[in-house]
Protein backbone atom coordinates (compact mmCIF):
# COMPACT_ATOMS: atom_id res chain seq x y z
CA UNK A 1 0.00 0.00 0.00
CA UNK A 2 2.88 2.27 0.75
CA UNK A 3 4.26 1.62 -2.69
CA UNK A 4 0.93 2.51 -4.28
CA UNK A 5 0.73 5.76 -2.30
CA UNK A 6 4.21 6.73 -3.39
CA UNK A 7 3.29 6.11 -7.01
CA UNK A 8 0.14 8.20 -6.69
CA UNK A 9 2.10 10.98 -4.99
CA UNK A 10 4.67 11.05 -7.78
CA UNK A 11 1.89 11.15 -10.32
CA UNK A 12 0.34 14.13 -8.56
CA UNK A 13 3.71 15.84 -8.47
CA UNK A 14 4.08 15.33 -12.21
CA UNK A 15 0.62 16.76 -12.78
CA UNK A 16 1.42 19.72 -10.55
CA UNK A 17 4.74 20.26 -12.34
CA UNK A 18 3.02 20.05 -15.72
CA UNK A 19 0.35 22.53 -14.61
CA UNK A 20 3.04 24.84 -13.24
CA UNK A 21 4.94 24.68 -16.50
CA UNK A 22 1.69 25.40 -18.41
CA UNK A 23 1.04 28.41 -16.17
CA UNK A 24 4.57 29.65 -16.73
CA UNK A 25 4.16 29.28 -20.50
CA UNK A 26 0.84 31.15 -20.44
CA UNK A 27 2.31 33.83 -18.21
CA UNK A 28 5.28 34.23 -20.53
CA UNK A 29 3.04 34.43 -23.57
CA UNK A 30 0.86 37.04 -21.86
CA UNK A 31 3.90 39.02 -20.81
CA UNK A 32 5.25 38.84 -24.39
CA UNK A 33 1.98 40.13 -25.84
CA UNK A 34 1.85 42.91 -23.24
CA UNK A 35 5.46 43.77 -23.98
CA UNK A 36 4.71 43.87 -27.72
CA UNK A 37 1.67 46.06 -27.16
CA UNK A 38 3.63 48.26 -24.79
CA UNK A 39 6.42 48.57 -27.34
CA UNK A 40 3.90 49.36 -30.09
CA UNK A 41 2.24 51.95 -27.90
CA UNK A 42 5.59 53.50 -27.07
CA UNK A 43 6.51 53.49 -30.77
CA UNK A 44 3.15 55.03 -31.69
CA UNK A 45 3.62 57.65 -29.00
CA UNK A 46 7.08 58.41 -30.31
CA UNK A 47 5.71 58.77 -33.86
CA UNK A 48 2.91 61.00 -32.60
CA UNK A 49 5.42 63.07 -30.69
CA UNK A 50 7.60 63.36 -33.81
CA UNK A 51 4.60 64.38 -35.96
CA UNK A 52 3.52 66.86 -33.30
CA UNK A 53 6.98 68.35 -33.25
CA UNK A 54 6.98 68.57 -37.05
CA UNK A 55 3.57 70.23 -36.98
CA UNK A 56 4.76 72.65 -34.34
CA UNK A 57 7.85 73.38 -36.45
CA UNK A 58 5.65 73.97 -39.53
CA UNK A 59 3.33 76.25 -37.59
CA UNK A 60 6.34 78.16 -36.31
CA UNK A 61 7.67 78.48 -39.84
CA UNK A 62 4.27 79.70 -41.12
CA UNK A 63 4.06 82.18 -38.29
CA UNK A 64 7.54 83.36 -39.19
CA UNK A 65 6.51 83.77 -42.82
CA UNK A 66 3.36 85.66 -41.82
CA UNK A 67 5.41 87.96 -39.65
CA UNK A 68 7.89 88.43 -42.52
CA UNK A 69 5.07 89.15 -44.99
CA UNK A 70 3.52 91.62 -42.58
CA UNK A 71 6.86 93.33 -42.19
CA UNK A 72 7.33 93.33 -45.96
CA UNK A 73 3.85 94.83 -46.44
CA UNK A 74 4.57 97.48 -43.83
CA UNK A 75 7.81 98.29 -45.64
CA UNK A 76 6.01 98.43 -48.99
CA UNK A 77 3.31 100.67 -47.52
CA UNK A 78 6.01 102.89 -46.07
CA UNK A 79 7.85 103.06 -49.41
CA UNK A 80 4.53 103.72 -51.21
CA UNK A 81 3.73 106.63 -48.89
CA UNK A 82 7.25 108.01 -49.23
CA UNK A 83 7.10 107.78 -53.04
CA UNK A 84 3.62 109.30 -53.06
CA UNK A 85 4.80 112.20 -50.92
CA UNK A 86 7.86 112.68 -53.14
CA UNK A 87 5.77 112.66 -56.32
CA UNK A 88 3.26 115.11 -54.82
CA UNK A 89 6.11 117.40 -53.80
CA UNK A 90 7.66 117.24 -57.28
CA UNK A 91 4.26 117.75 -58.87
CA UNK A 92 3.56 120.77 -56.70
CA UNK A 93 6.90 122.36 -57.49
CA UNK A 94 6.52 121.63 -61.19
CA UNK A 95 3.01 123.05 -61.32
CA UNK A 96 4.03 126.16 -59.42
CA UNK A 97 6.89 126.73 -61.85
CA UNK A 98 4.88 126.18 -65.03
CA UNK A 99 1.51 127.78 -64.34
CA UNK A 100 0.77 131.46 -64.28
CA UNK A 101 -2.37 132.29 -62.28
CA UNK A 102 -2.85 135.47 -64.31
CA UNK A 103 -2.90 133.46 -67.56
CA UNK A 104 -6.21 132.08 -68.85
CA UNK A 105 -5.56 128.48 -69.83
CA UNK A 106 -7.19 126.98 -72.88
CA UNK A 107 -6.65 123.46 -71.52
CA UNK A 108 -4.22 121.32 -69.60
CA UNK A 109 -2.50 118.74 -71.81
CA UNK A 110 -1.79 115.35 -70.26
CA UNK A 111 0.23 112.54 -71.82
CA UNK A 112 -0.76 109.17 -70.39
CA UNK A 113 2.31 106.95 -69.98
CA UNK A 114 3.23 103.61 -68.43
CA UNK A 115 6.34 101.66 -69.40
CA UNK A 116 7.47 102.86 -72.84
CA UNK A 117 10.18 105.44 -72.29
CA UNK A 118 11.21 105.50 -75.96
CA UNK A 119 7.62 106.12 -77.06
CA UNK A 120 7.21 108.86 -74.47
CA UNK A 121 10.32 110.64 -75.70
CA UNK A 122 9.02 110.60 -79.28
CA UNK A 123 5.65 111.98 -78.17
CA UNK A 124 7.22 114.71 -76.02
CA UNK A 125 9.51 115.76 -78.86
CA UNK A 126 6.48 116.22 -81.11
CA UNK A 127 4.33 118.00 -78.50
CA UNK A 128 7.05 120.38 -77.28
CA UNK A 129 7.87 121.35 -80.86
CA UNK A 130 4.51 123.17 -81.06
CA UNK A 131 3.65 123.73 -77.38
CA UNK A 132 6.76 125.52 -76.12
CA UNK A 133 5.88 129.00 -77.43
CA UNK A 134 2.29 128.77 -76.08
CA UNK A 135 3.08 126.82 -72.91
CA UNK A 136 1.16 129.19 -70.63
CA UNK A 137 -2.04 128.45 -72.50
CA UNK A 138 -1.45 124.71 -72.43
CA UNK A 139 0.30 123.52 -69.23
CA UNK A 140 1.85 120.14 -70.01
CA UNK A 141 1.65 117.08 -67.75
CA UNK A 142 2.94 113.52 -67.97
CA UNK A 143 0.91 111.07 -65.91
CA UNK A 144 2.65 107.73 -65.39
CA UNK A 145 0.81 104.59 -64.35
CA UNK A 146 3.13 102.46 -62.22
CA UNK A 147 6.75 102.95 -61.29
CA UNK A 148 8.80 102.05 -64.35
CA UNK A 149 12.07 103.87 -63.53
CA UNK A 150 13.03 104.59 -67.15
CA UNK A 151 9.73 106.38 -67.80
CA UNK A 152 9.97 108.41 -64.59
CA UNK A 153 13.56 109.38 -65.40
CA UNK A 154 12.63 110.36 -68.95
CA UNK A 155 9.63 112.46 -67.85
CA UNK A 156 11.57 114.21 -65.10
CA UNK A 157 14.39 115.09 -67.48
CA UNK A 158 12.10 117.75 -69.04
CA UNK A 159 11.74 121.09 -67.26
CA UNK A 160 8.79 122.05 -69.47
CA UNK A 161 6.28 119.68 -67.86
CA UNK A 162 4.77 118.58 -64.57
CA UNK A 163 5.17 114.92 -63.65
CA UNK A 164 2.36 112.93 -61.99
CA UNK A 165 2.50 109.29 -60.91
CA UNK A 166 -0.40 106.91 -60.34
CA UNK A 167 0.47 104.10 -57.93
CA UNK A 168 -1.81 101.17 -57.08
CA UNK A 169 -2.37 101.13 -53.32
CA UNK A 170 -3.77 97.57 -53.61
CA UNK A 171 -3.59 94.77 -56.22
CA UNK A 172 -5.72 95.23 -59.34
CA UNK A 173 -8.12 92.30 -59.84
CA UNK A 174 -10.30 91.43 -62.83
CA UNK A 175 -13.99 90.64 -62.39
CA UNK A 176 -14.26 87.89 -65.03
CA UNK A 177 -11.94 85.11 -66.31
CA UNK A 178 -10.08 86.03 -69.46
CA UNK A 179 -10.04 89.79 -68.88
CA UNK A 180 -6.74 91.65 -69.15
CA UNK A 181 -5.55 93.43 -66.01
CA UNK A 182 -3.99 96.06 -68.31
CA UNK A 183 -7.43 97.41 -69.27
CA UNK A 184 -8.42 97.75 -65.60
CA UNK A 185 -5.19 99.58 -64.83
CA UNK A 186 -5.61 101.93 -67.82
CA UNK A 187 -9.21 102.77 -66.90
CA UNK A 188 -8.22 103.47 -63.26
CA UNK A 189 -5.28 105.60 -64.42
CA UNK A 190 -7.53 107.72 -66.65
CA UNK A 191 -9.99 108.38 -63.85
CA UNK A 192 -7.22 109.22 -61.38
CA UNK A 193 -5.44 111.59 -63.78
CA UNK A 194 -8.59 113.42 -64.89
CA UNK A 195 -9.83 113.75 -61.31
CA UNK A 196 -6.42 115.17 -60.42
CA UNK A 197 -6.42 117.73 -63.23
CA UNK A 198 -10.05 118.82 -62.97
CA UNK A 199 -10.51 118.70 -59.19
CA UNK A 200 -6.98 118.82 -57.83
CA UNK A 201 -5.66 121.55 -60.16
CA UNK A 202 -9.01 123.09 -61.14
CA UNK A 203 -8.61 123.13 -64.92
CA UNK A 204 -11.77 123.75 -66.93
CA UNK A 205 -10.66 121.69 -69.95
CA UNK A 206 -8.18 118.85 -70.49
CA UNK A 207 -6.66 117.47 -73.69
CA UNK A 208 -5.76 113.79 -73.39
CA UNK A 209 -2.91 112.29 -75.38
CA UNK A 210 -1.21 108.93 -75.06
CA UNK A 211 2.49 108.16 -75.06
CA UNK A 212 2.46 106.90 -78.67
CA UNK A 213 1.21 109.99 -80.54
CA UNK A 214 2.66 112.74 -82.67
CA UNK A 215 0.72 115.95 -83.26
CA UNK A 216 0.13 118.22 -86.27
CA UNK A 217 1.48 121.79 -86.54
CA UNK A 218 -2.01 123.29 -86.00
CA UNK A 219 -2.96 120.90 -83.16
CA UNK A 220 -3.21 123.59 -80.47
CA UNK A 221 -4.88 126.20 -82.70
CA UNK A 222 -7.47 123.58 -83.64
CA UNK A 223 -8.30 122.85 -80.01
CA UNK A 224 -8.43 126.53 -79.11
CA UNK A 225 -11.05 127.11 -81.81
CA UNK A 226 -12.88 123.98 -80.69
CA UNK A 227 -12.88 125.16 -77.06
CA UNK A 228 -14.81 128.28 -78.08
CA UNK A 229 -17.26 126.08 -79.97
CA UNK A 230 -17.81 123.82 -76.94
CA UNK A 231 -18.57 126.82 -74.76
CA UNK A 232 -21.40 127.83 -77.10
CA UNK A 233 -22.81 124.37 -77.85
CA UNK A 234 -23.32 121.96 -74.95
CA UNK A 235 -24.48 119.22 -77.33
CA UNK A 236 -20.79 118.70 -78.17
CA UNK A 237 -19.59 116.14 -75.62
CA UNK A 238 -15.94 116.18 -76.68
CA UNK A 239 -13.65 117.30 -79.51
CA UNK A 240 -11.22 114.86 -81.09
CA UNK A 241 -8.19 115.29 -83.32
CA UNK A 242 -8.78 111.86 -84.86
CA UNK A 243 -10.66 110.41 -87.83
CA UNK A 244 -11.02 106.61 -87.86
CA UNK A 245 -11.14 106.71 -91.66
CA UNK A 246 -8.29 109.23 -91.88
CA UNK A 247 -6.00 107.04 -93.98
CA UNK A 248 -4.15 108.82 -96.81
CA UNK A 249 -6.43 107.43 -99.52
CA UNK A 250 -9.63 108.61 -97.78
CA UNK A 251 -8.86 112.26 -96.93
CA UNK A 252 -8.26 115.43 -98.92
CA UNK A 253 -9.25 118.69 -97.22
CA UNK A 254 -7.48 119.76 -93.97
CA UNK A 255 -10.01 122.55 -93.42
CA UNK A 256 -13.10 120.32 -93.12
CA UNK A 257 -14.58 119.32 -89.75
CA UNK A 258 -17.52 117.01 -89.02
CA UNK A 259 -19.89 116.19 -86.20
CA UNK A 260 -20.14 112.49 -85.35
CA UNK A 261 -22.25 110.25 -83.13
CA UNK A 262 -19.19 108.05 -82.61
CA UNK A 263 -16.50 108.95 -80.05
CA UNK A 264 -13.15 108.95 -81.95
CA UNK A 265 -10.71 109.30 -79.02
CA UNK A 266 -6.95 109.31 -79.72
CA UNK A 267 -6.23 112.92 -78.83
CA UNK A 268 -9.37 114.52 -77.44
CA UNK A 269 -10.60 117.34 -75.22
CA UNK A 270 -13.43 117.42 -72.69
CA UNK A 271 -14.74 119.98 -70.22
CA UNK A 272 -15.04 119.80 -66.46
CA UNK A 273 -18.86 119.83 -66.64
CA UNK A 274 -18.77 116.66 -68.75
CA UNK A 275 -16.27 115.04 -66.40
CA UNK A 276 -18.52 115.91 -63.44
CA UNK A 277 -21.05 113.60 -65.06
CA UNK A 278 -18.66 110.82 -66.10
CA UNK A 279 -16.31 110.56 -63.12
CA UNK A 280 -18.77 109.06 -60.58
CA UNK A 281 -19.70 106.20 -62.93
CA UNK A 282 -16.37 105.71 -64.74
CA UNK A 283 -15.92 101.97 -65.43
CA UNK A 284 -13.35 99.72 -63.80
CA UNK A 285 -12.83 98.36 -67.33
CA UNK A 286 -15.37 98.01 -70.11
CA UNK A 287 -16.52 94.34 -69.83
CA UNK A 288 -15.57 92.31 -72.86
CA UNK A 289 -18.73 90.21 -72.84
CA UNK A 290 -20.85 93.21 -73.95
CA UNK A 291 -19.14 93.18 -77.34
CA UNK A 292 -16.79 90.77 -79.04
CA UNK A 293 -13.97 93.30 -79.42
CA UNK A 294 -14.80 95.72 -76.60
CA UNK A 295 -12.37 95.78 -73.72
CA UNK A 296 -11.58 99.44 -73.24
CA UNK A 297 -12.97 102.52 -71.52
CA UNK A 298 -13.52 104.38 -74.83
CA UNK A 299 -16.10 101.78 -75.87
CA UNK A 300 -17.94 102.56 -72.66
CA UNK A 301 -18.04 106.22 -73.72
CA UNK A 302 -19.59 105.10 -77.02
CA UNK A 303 -22.63 103.64 -75.32
CA UNK A 304 -25.72 105.72 -76.01
CA UNK A 305 -26.59 105.62 -72.31
CA UNK A 306 -23.42 107.64 -71.67
CA UNK A 307 -23.24 110.10 -74.56
CA UNK A 308 -27.05 110.56 -74.43
CA UNK A 309 -27.43 111.82 -77.97
CA UNK A 310 -24.57 114.32 -77.67
CA UNK A 311 -22.00 114.36 -80.44
CA UNK A 312 -18.31 114.77 -81.11
CA UNK A 313 -16.38 117.06 -83.43
CA UNK A 314 -13.66 115.48 -85.55
CA UNK A 315 -11.46 116.61 -88.47
CA UNK A 316 -11.30 115.05 -91.90
CA UNK A 317 -7.49 115.01 -91.73
CA UNK A 318 -6.11 113.78 -88.40
CA UNK A 319 -4.24 116.13 -86.06
CA UNK A 320 -2.66 113.20 -84.27
CA UNK A 321 -0.76 110.17 -85.53
CA UNK A 322 -0.69 106.96 -83.51
CA UNK A 323 2.62 105.11 -83.92
CA UNK A 324 1.98 102.63 -81.10
CA UNK A 325 2.32 99.27 -82.76
CA UNK A 326 3.34 97.68 -79.45
CA UNK A 327 1.13 98.16 -76.39
CA UNK A 328 -1.77 96.79 -74.35
CA UNK A 329 -3.96 96.46 -77.48
CA UNK A 330 -1.27 94.21 -79.03
CA UNK A 331 -1.08 96.23 -82.24
CA UNK A 332 -4.75 95.62 -83.10
CA UNK A 333 -5.58 97.08 -86.57
CA UNK A 334 -2.19 98.83 -86.71
CA UNK A 335 -1.00 97.81 -90.18
CA UNK A 336 -4.41 98.15 -91.82
CA UNK A 337 -5.84 101.24 -90.15
CA UNK A 338 -3.28 103.15 -88.05
CA UNK A 339 -0.02 103.09 -89.97
CA UNK A 340 -1.56 104.59 -93.19
CA UNK A 341 -3.13 107.54 -91.30
CA UNK A 342 -2.45 110.96 -92.82
CA UNK A 343 -1.13 113.46 -90.24
CA UNK A 344 -2.02 117.01 -91.24
CA UNK A 345 0.98 119.04 -92.36
CA UNK A 346 -0.85 122.29 -93.24
CA UNK A 347 -0.80 125.23 -90.82
CA UNK A 348 -4.49 126.09 -90.82
CA UNK A 349 -5.38 129.51 -89.37
CA UNK A 350 -8.27 128.31 -87.21
CA UNK A 351 -8.76 131.72 -85.59
CA UNK A 352 -9.95 133.12 -88.91
CA UNK A 353 -12.25 130.16 -89.65
CA UNK A 354 -16.02 130.44 -89.22
CA UNK A 355 -17.01 127.22 -87.43
CA UNK A 356 -20.61 128.21 -86.78
CA UNK A 357 -21.77 125.57 -89.28
CA UNK A 358 -20.83 122.98 -86.65
CA UNK A 359 -23.41 124.28 -84.15
CA UNK A 360 -26.18 121.79 -83.56
CA UNK A 361 -28.94 124.02 -84.92
CA UNK A 362 -27.06 124.56 -88.23
CA UNK A 363 -25.10 121.40 -88.87
CA UNK A 364 -28.00 119.11 -89.72
CA UNK A 365 -29.10 121.28 -92.66
CA UNK A 366 -25.48 121.97 -93.67
CA UNK A 367 -24.74 118.25 -93.89
CA UNK A 368 -28.07 117.50 -95.61
CA UNK A 369 -27.29 120.01 -98.37
CA UNK A 370 -24.00 118.29 -99.13
CA UNK A 371 -25.64 114.88 -99.12
CA UNK A 372 -28.47 115.96 -101.45
CA UNK A 373 -25.95 116.80 -104.18
CA UNK A 374 -24.36 113.33 -104.10
CA UNK A 375 -25.42 110.94 -106.86
CA UNK A 376 -27.19 107.78 -105.61
CA UNK A 377 -25.61 104.48 -106.74
CA UNK A 378 -26.21 100.88 -105.69
CA UNK A 379 -23.90 98.95 -103.41
CA UNK A 380 -23.06 96.39 -106.10
CA UNK A 381 -19.49 97.04 -107.30
CA UNK A 382 -19.74 100.35 -105.42
CA UNK A 383 -16.01 101.10 -105.40
CA UNK A 384 -15.74 100.62 -109.16
CA UNK A 385 -18.80 102.79 -109.84
CA UNK A 386 -17.53 105.55 -107.51
CA UNK A 387 -14.19 105.55 -109.35
CA UNK A 388 -15.84 105.98 -112.74
CA UNK A 389 -18.40 108.66 -111.85
CA UNK A 390 -15.88 111.30 -110.75
CA UNK A 391 -18.31 113.09 -108.41
CA UNK A 392 -19.78 112.76 -104.93
CA UNK A 393 -21.87 109.59 -104.57
CA UNK A 394 -24.14 108.13 -101.92
CA UNK A 395 -24.79 104.45 -101.31
CA UNK A 396 -27.69 103.20 -99.22
CA UNK A 397 -27.08 100.28 -96.85
CA UNK A 398 -29.91 98.33 -95.20
CA UNK A 399 -28.31 97.03 -91.99
CA UNK A 400 -24.97 96.34 -90.32
CA UNK A 401 -24.01 93.29 -92.45
CA UNK A 402 -24.85 95.28 -95.59
CA UNK A 403 -22.73 98.21 -94.37
CA UNK A 404 -19.82 95.88 -93.65
CA UNK A 405 -20.09 94.41 -97.17
CA UNK A 406 -19.94 97.86 -98.82
CA UNK A 407 -17.24 99.17 -96.44
CA UNK A 408 -15.12 96.14 -97.27
CA UNK A 409 -15.18 97.09 -100.97
CA UNK A 410 -13.60 100.45 -100.17
CA UNK A 411 -11.36 99.32 -97.30
CA UNK A 412 -12.73 101.63 -94.59
CA UNK A 413 -13.52 100.60 -91.00
CA UNK A 414 -16.34 98.05 -90.88
CA UNK A 415 -16.73 98.15 -87.08
CA UNK A 416 -19.82 99.34 -85.19
CA UNK A 417 -20.26 100.16 -81.50
CA UNK A 418 -23.68 100.15 -79.88
CA UNK A 419 -25.45 100.45 -83.22
CA UNK A 420 -23.22 103.25 -84.62
CA UNK A 421 -20.59 102.80 -87.39
CA UNK A 422 -17.23 104.43 -86.78
CA UNK A 423 -17.18 108.13 -87.81
CA UNK A 424 -20.95 108.14 -88.56
CA UNK A 425 -23.33 111.10 -88.28
CA UNK A 426 -27.03 110.16 -88.32
CA UNK A 427 -25.90 106.78 -89.68
CA UNK A 428 -23.94 108.39 -92.57
CA UNK A 429 -20.24 107.61 -92.96
CA UNK A 430 -18.39 109.98 -95.31
CA UNK A 431 -14.89 109.64 -96.75
CA UNK A 432 -12.97 110.75 -99.85
CA UNK A 433 -12.38 108.47 -102.78
CA UNK A 434 -10.13 109.31 -105.72
CA UNK A 435 -9.14 112.78 -104.58
CA UNK A 436 -11.76 115.38 -103.69
CA UNK A 437 -14.83 113.21 -104.38
CA UNK A 438 -16.88 112.13 -101.35
CA UNK A 439 -18.56 108.78 -100.78
CA UNK A 440 -21.51 108.78 -98.37
CA UNK A 441 -22.63 105.43 -96.95
CA UNK A 442 -26.21 106.17 -95.93
CA UNK A 443 -28.15 104.24 -93.29
CA UNK A 444 -31.74 103.00 -93.68
CA UNK A 445 -33.14 105.94 -91.64
CA UNK A 446 -30.48 108.56 -92.39
CA UNK A 447 -32.33 110.52 -95.08
CA UNK A 448 -35.43 110.75 -92.91
CA UNK A 449 -33.38 111.96 -89.92
CA UNK A 450 -31.75 114.62 -92.11
CA UNK A 451 -35.05 115.76 -93.63
CA UNK A 452 -34.13 114.57 -97.14
Question: pLDDT digit string (tens) for 396-414?
Answer: 999 999 999 999 999 999 9
Q: Provide the percentage of residues in the chain whose pLDDT is more than 90.
A: 64
Phi, psi of 351 (to 5 degrees): -65, -25
Q: Contact at 8 Å (CB) between 425 and 377?
A: no
pLDDT tens figures, 15-70: 766 666 666 676 666 656 655 665 565 565 566 566 667 766 776 676 666 666 66
pLDDT tens figures, 318-347: 999 999 877 545 455 678 889 999 999 999
Catalytic residues: 298
pTM, two decimals, is 0.78
Rounded distance between C-alpha atoms, residue 275 and residue 206, angstroms: 10
The pLDDT mean for the chain works out to 85
Rounded distance between C-alpha atoms, residue 343 and residue 219, angstroms: 10
Rounded distance between C-alpha atoms, residue 124 and residue 20, angstroms: 110
Q: In a 3-state reduction of DSSP, which class is residue 43?
A: helix
Rounded distance between C-alpha atoms, residue 181 and residue 175, angstroms: 10
Q: Contact at 8 Å (CB) between 212 and 322?
A: yes
Cα→Cα distances 228→24, 223, 263, 340, 444, Å: 118, 9, 20, 31, 34
pLDDT tens figures, 341-392: 999 999 999 999 999 999 999 999 999 999 999 999 998 999 999 999 989 9
Amino acid sequence: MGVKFACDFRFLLLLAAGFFIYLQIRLFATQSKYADRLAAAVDSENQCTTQTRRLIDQISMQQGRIVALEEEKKQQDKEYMQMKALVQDLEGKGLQRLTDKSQVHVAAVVIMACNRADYLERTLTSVLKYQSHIAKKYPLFVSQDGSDPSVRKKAMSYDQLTYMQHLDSKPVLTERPGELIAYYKIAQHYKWALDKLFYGHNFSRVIILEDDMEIAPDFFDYFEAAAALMEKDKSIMAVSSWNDNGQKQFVHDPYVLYRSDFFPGLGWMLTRSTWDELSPKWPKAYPYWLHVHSTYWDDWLRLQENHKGRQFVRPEVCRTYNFGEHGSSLGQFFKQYLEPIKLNDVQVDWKSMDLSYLMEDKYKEYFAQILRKAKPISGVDAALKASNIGADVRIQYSDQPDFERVARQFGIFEEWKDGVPRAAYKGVVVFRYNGPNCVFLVGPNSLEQLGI
